[in-house]
A = this chain, B = another copy of it.
Amino acid sequence: MNGVHDMGGMHGFGPVVREENEPLFHAEWEARVRAMQGATVGRFFNLDEFRYGIEQMDPAHYLRSSYFERWLATIEYNLVQKGVVTSAELDARTELLRQQPDADLPAPGSVESPWRTAESFPRPDLPDLTPRFAAGDAVVTRNQHPIGHTRLPRYARGKRGVIHLVHGPEVFADTNAHGLGPNPQIVYSVRFDARELWGDAADPGGTLNIDLWESYLEPAPG
């Protein structure tokens, strides 16, 4: 989707600010969100669904939110989508904790859930695939604007590049994010002249490499 998450080339976000001696987490809840992500992704939902859930945030909310707030939003989104928890449960529990921070909560495991049997699932096995392109081939990216998840950034659509590396088969994020199967494809590192992407604004002589799935690419004409 053409979302605010697709930030490559945007202006207006100010300077990069580096925090000296940055702590691992800025608050306890961030650490707990990080840990919950590890405990839920690859078990109740896959990593592409996790990423797509972030893209489903309201754009204004996305831009107001810190990194782990976005993680919390997608963990909640995906758990609700799959039926592991309900929004009503979450709203009620949040409100209870707001009113009574030390409320007695149900004991661990005291509530039944059919999801207890869910086991971690690995990324699926990848078949051998014959690459359509070889290093050095000139390609052009598709000018695609899907409403769903994709990993071809807007700034690199309809652009000419050269196959730089043939990475090998990977699960196709665009379908795997939507329950449409892993559909593995060869992924390539495609090199673009910065000028092809940014015109006069490009860093002179610079290049960008982007990892792209085979179906994003066509042979360059001419």
* Interface, chain A (partner B; CB < 8 A): 1-4, 9-13, 55-56, 58-60, 63-64, 142-147, 154, 157-158, 197-201
Contact = CB atoms under 8 A, between A and B. Distances in A.
Given A12-B56, A13-B59, A144-B201, 18 more contacts: A1-B11, A1-B12, A2-B10, A2-B12, A3-B11, A3-B12, A4-B59, A4-B63, A12-B55, A60-B63, A64-B64, A142-B199, A143-B197, A143-B198, A143-B199, A146-B201, A158-B158, A158-B199
Contacts of A13: 59
Contact of A59 (B12, B56, B197, B198): B12
Main secondary structure of the interface of A (DSSP, over half): loop
A152 B145 CA distance: 19
Give the number of copies in the complex. 2
B199 A144 contact: yes
Contacts of A60: 60, 63-64
A12 B142 contact: no
B198 A145 contact: yes
